[in-house]
Amino acid sequence: MLHKKKFLTAAAGIALLTACGDTNNENAAEENHQEEANSNAEETEQNEQSEIEEEENENNSAAAVTEGGLEMPQISGETESLPQAVIETNMGDIEVVFYPEKAPLAVENFLTLAEEDYYNDVIFHRVIEDFMIQGGDPSGTGMGGESAFGEAFEDEFDPSLAHFNGALSMANSGPDSNGSQFFIVQAGSENLTEEMFEESGFPEETIEHYLEVGGTPHLDNRHTVFGHVISGMDVVDEIATVETEGADMPAEDIVIEDIVITEDME
């Protein structure tokens, strides 16, 4: 709602002045008052126009989300000029692309740790079929690991990224507790329905893609998505189906042998 300014009118009952000098003063006063009124009117018009433009921008922003105007690199398959890496495991290679403009801290953290060979010989310590595979903890317990920054870093939620099947995301123990652990979503669309998204507030394009490829929408805005699998999803599927023991740990070690960065950040 626009809030219009009210202006005071000139005081009524101005005394008539007969002398020439008094008349000039009166005319000057009236001219000054008129200039002030015009200036105030112009300022009001500018303020109203600014409020209208602000309201239009908000509406346009909302329309961009609800009408599919949101650019979603996971859906478009955008990889050009984006950093990429190959996670080499004893069960095969998984190639991923990263989104530094959307989640700069998470991407820098992962690539820095990878360059330092932090993830070499680390296992996927937690594997749940139709959910995800999780690794990145040198202790192999799910209780260890630290970030490249030396302390936990904040979450980075972006509406253009979601936990679609194949998403690369940060594991955490609560808000802003990101360290070295990560997971890859491995979940089909069999258990997803349109009714589940009725009050989700998700963009329509996001909902359609979830229903098409699957994923874990309940993790959105709880974990930071910072990349996506672009090759080797069959390896992820195979890892997800291995025999597990207590705490969903694979009976036989699934090892990250190396992470090779194939496209550096610019």
Q: Which one of 109, 172, 178, 181 is the catalytic residue?
A: 172
Q: Which one of 131, 157, 211, 222 is the catalytic residue?
A: 131
Please answer whether residues 250 and 124 qualify as being in contact, where contact means their C-beta atoms are separated by less than 8 angstroms. Answer: yes
| Nearest Cα residue to 118 out of 259, 263, 265, 264 | 259
Residue 134 is among the residues annotated as catalytic for this protein: yes
Cβ atoms < 10 Å from Cβ of 105: 19
Residue 183 is among the residues annotated as catalytic for this protein: yes
Q: Which one of 125, 163, 209, 223 is the catalytic residue?
A: 223
Residue 126 is among the residues annotated as catalytic for this protein: yes
Residue 223 is among the residues annotated as catalytic for this protein: yes
Give the separation between CA 129 and CA 185, rounded to whole angstroms: 10
Residue 57 is among the residues annotated as catalytic for this protein: no
Residue 202 is among the residues annotated as catalytic for this protein: no
- What single-letter amino acid sits at 30? E
Please answer whether residues 51 and 44 qualify as being in contact, where contact means their C-beta atoms are separated by less than 8 angstroms. Answer: no
Q: Which one of 126, 163, 209, 228 is the catalytic residue?
A: 126
Residue 222 is among the residues annotated as catalytic for this protein: no
Q: Which one of 124, 182, 183, 226 is the catalytic residue?
A: 183
Give the separation between CA 228 and CA 226, rounded to whole angstroms: 7
| Nearest Cα residue to 203 out of 101, 107, 72 | 72
Catalytic positions, written as ranges: 126, 131, 134, 172, 183, 219, 223
